[in-house]
Amino acid sequence: MKRYNYRAKDKKTGKMVKGSIQADNERLAGRLIVEQDLIPDSVVEEGANNPLAKFASRITTKDRIMFTRQLATLIGAGLPLSASLRTVVEQTENRGMKAIGEEILAAAESGKSLYEAFSAHPNVFNGVYLALIQAGEKSGTLDIALKRLSDQEEKDAAMISKIRGALVYPGIILVVIIAVLLFMMFVVVPQVRSLYEDMGEELPTITQVLSNMTDFVAQFWWLLLAGIVGGFAGLFVFVKKTKTGRRIADAFKIHVPIFGGLFRKLYVSRFARTAEMLLSTGVPMVDSITIAINAVSNTVVEAEYTKSIELLKGGKTLSEALADREYMLPLVPQMAGIGEESGKIDEMLGKAAKVYEDELYNQINSISTMIEPILMVIMAGLIGVVVGGTLLPIYSLVNSVSA
């Protein structure tokens, strides 16, 4: 449901009143207003004409984690489902999450299962989320399933935050490099050229090249800017909106030097951790592995892992089905085999995920540390070229004048 703000005339008093109402669409909202003995004057969807309101209602991972953890805590404390949902909705600050919570509450109070209520919002709650809720409802362990969900989402968010954090310092260095180069080219190089022109001397080759580059950028900056923006926009649309682009980007991630191994461990740990959660909550093996594969979020890896589904349906064990899969790191099928012998497949998959998560953390730190000196060397080389094309000609000119 959506929330609509309305302005209407009260039939009894004749006064104009304002309020808000929930409905599936604007026409239904108008009908509900009329049923309250009001004559609608205007009915507008909340935030429809306010970009800031839409931004404020954007649901983040943090909002979803807080909603899930609070719901798990209240259900675990013994509160009825409706009371738990109502309390969580009242405590939710994000407008978007609050609106969805109200819809889930309304659906639950109308007799729908929690799984059905959450399923109405696939853009917010993915397949893993829905499967765990369904399994938790069936097994009577809904609070445990919700807690596991929030724990896993916190781990995923922490991992993404660590990757982004590792790229912050190199990013700052890159910005400094660009800023220094622009300053040298647009401030120092023109002054050197002017000095040589006043002296009637010919510019050295390297300085002339830098001068020509400066003139080109100054004259066609708009063309370069349009090309850069257009290129990135086109690449974004190609990757996000086309299957071919997504497949190429996903293949690049797992094959690019240095970072390819990082992505493979990320996908394997995500697969193993998701499968562990689902299996431990009682989701059947084939369903668990299918959902875990979809949670990987890489089309190339998913296509390869999906081959194991038919093997499972054909009677193969999980360790056998995963053993020969490309992009599947060896520890996962090995630990699955141990789990099959001990009857603790979910636990063993969790341990495999933990190993690769720890390796991932260490590699991220190592790569971050390694990138910094590489960028410093690149910066020193580029600035050295520019300095060589500006200061050395000045020294040469001074020497020629003094001679």
Q: 104-113, pLDDT tens digit by residue?
A: 888 888 888 8
CATH number (domain holding residue 36): 3.10.20
Residue 353 within a domain: yes
Residue 349 within a domain: yes
The domain boundary residue, chosen from 73, 94, 125: 125
User: What would the DSSP string read from start to end of 153-200?
Assistant: HHHHHHHHHHHHHHHHHHHHHHHHHHHHHHHIIIIIHHHHHHHHHHHT
Query: What is d(CA 190, CA 350) in angstroms, rounded to the nearest whole number?
Result: 62
Q: Which residue shows structure tokens 């059947």?
A: 284
- Position 400 scores a pLDDT of 63
Please choose, from the candidates 63, 153, 127, the residue with its C-alpha nearest in 3D space to the C-alpha of residue 100: 63
Eight-state DSSP code of residue 204 = P
Q: 33-75, pLDDT tens digit by residue?
A: 777 777 777 777 765 554 444 444 578 888 888 998 999 899 8
Query: What is d(CA 146, CA 201) in angstroms, rounded to the nearest whole number?
Result: 77
The reply to whether 274 and 329 lie within a common domain is yes
Please choose, from the candidates 35, 40, 32, 36, the residue with its C-alpha nearest in 3D space to the C-alpha of residue 16: 40
Residue 285 within a domain: yes
Q: Greater confidence, 365 or 339?
A: 339
Q: 363-372, pLDDT tens digit by residue?
A: 877 777 777 7
CATH number (domain holding residue 267): 1.20.81.30
Residue 224 pLDDT greater than 80, yes or no: yes
The reply to whether 45 and 109 lie within a common domain is no
- Position 46 scores a pLDDT of 65
Residue 303 within a domain: yes
* Residue 38, strand partner residues: 10
The reply to whether 44 and 88 lie within a common domain is no
Count of structural domains within the chain:
3
The domain boundary residue, chosen from 10, 39, 55: 55
The reply to whether 47 and 74 lie within a common domain is no
List Cα–Cα distances, 343 to 24, 89, 332, in angstroms. Answer: 48, 40, 16
Query: What is d(CA 295, CA 316) in angstroms, rounded to the nearest whole number?
Result: 22
Q: Which residue shows structure tokens 């969900």?
A: 149
Query: What is d(CA 264, CA 328) in angstroms, rounded to the nearest whole number?
Result: 8
Give the residue numbers spanning the domain of 110.
60-125
Q: Greater confidence, 47 or 284?
A: 284
Q: What integer is the mean pLDDT of 29-35?
A: 76
The reply to whether 7 and 92 lie within a common domain is no
The domain boundary residue, chosen from 81, 101, 125: 125
Alpha helices in 242-344 (DSSP H): 243-255, 259-280, 285-294, 299-305, 307-313, 318-323, 331-342
Query: What is d(CA 380, CA 216) in angstroms, rounded to the nearest whole number?
Result: 24
The reply to whether 97 and 13 lie within a common domain is no
